[in-house]
Structure 1
């Protein structure tokens, strides 16, 4: 139906944010996109958006058309997905958002392997410094660090992760003995300036007693907004780094980096795959999230504390398994 096509076109236009971006995504000329929007407005008898070639702002009528139209399209997609699940082969779009470092290292190869298994999928991976909105940007899955604050999202943990304090053996040999996080105030530290975070304050928990925390303000001669650069500087002996386990476990295993302050540990920074709550979650989304949960374990070894926790549970200790799904 023409009305359904118009709803899908306008949703694409609103998400793209401009006529130019929409034309690029659809592979059409700018004039063709502009003409179609004019025809849609003429059919409805209202102005849906004020626009230039670079920016598009929805009117009140446009906002209403977008919101109600999105609900209609979602109902249609759910119906088609429910019917399509009778097929054995996954198909359709699979749009994923992740951060640059983790996305390049792990999500990209796993998406590649998953789409190789299911060639009818249309996979898209968009990497960004900041997490992008699933709804506003039309992503199916987001890879997030920490617990997502949005209660409308379902989250499944795909990797247990914690930040690790480490440095090169040569630098460690030149440092005074560290006994508490406060001792870092006199050490050269490598600062990661990203996402407007409080990069000069490092937080720690006492091992064995996570309720006891310490925060220390650090400083150092070098800083970067890229985690890979920070790891490289640490390997070169320029300073102490606080990096995620997934990023440095290989260097710790090889001895290129040494963990510091064994009585303390950095705060948790688990990775979750998140997606929007809905009555019917498409099979391709559920399958890819399950694939991430299974495959990630083979790419990043479990932290020592996770292995000990699993062993304790196997020996009859209490506690719930960390893997699984939860709704915030």
Structure 2
């Protein structure tokens, strides 16, 4: 019996344990497989950071594409001109004046052409519409002198030209409108307090630490100038992706971060650098996030400071942001 059992066990072992011959891969294929595995490990360990919603200097990275109703920009033409870059603003500024002068210069030339002043201006007893206007260049110069009120006195309109008097009135009125609009755009663009925001500094990193026995998120803000920011207040937004209970994915969900709305700590007096603190409690959006989750999750804290420039009274709105890699 024992011998039979031994025979059966040997037989079973021969059936179940007999290994299958494994073909050995060539050396170059084994090296390629090892390098591929290393590449995957390195790629998994390096997490590509998400593009920031707002840059550190406050510039927004959102670009509006596929805008079909572009005519709406023309309905608010003044704001559109103010928001343009300086090179485009100066180009449009020059273009508007040159086109305006050329247009009225052409009208003055047409009047002189219809009246025959170009051929009879040298005849005695002939009274032209505009004296010494004998070419398109002189008409263009007269248009510039009229609109800019230079008044050299060499080219002057006569009283026997009613159509010229009407055109002079129209050019004076339209020229004043063009001057008011273009000079107003340049003045608003120059007086914008964007450069004032350059002297407002935000800390490069936000820190999570214990303060007064409370876990707090803290960052600093300071003003380099001696002039104060009137009615300065600060607020913060947490921007991260979120998936709702219905399965909807929101890529840029904005959540308010309480930095003193209830206590008035959001009102600042920036005579020296201040530490802005957010208590992480049950109402905080960071309450359910652990340190491991914060290291993995991509989010961004956008800080917005509001106030008025003391010297000009213009509103000021500097913006900064801190990404996940800037939170410790």
TM normalised by structure 2 equals 0.18
TM-score under structure 1 normalisation?
Answer: 0.18
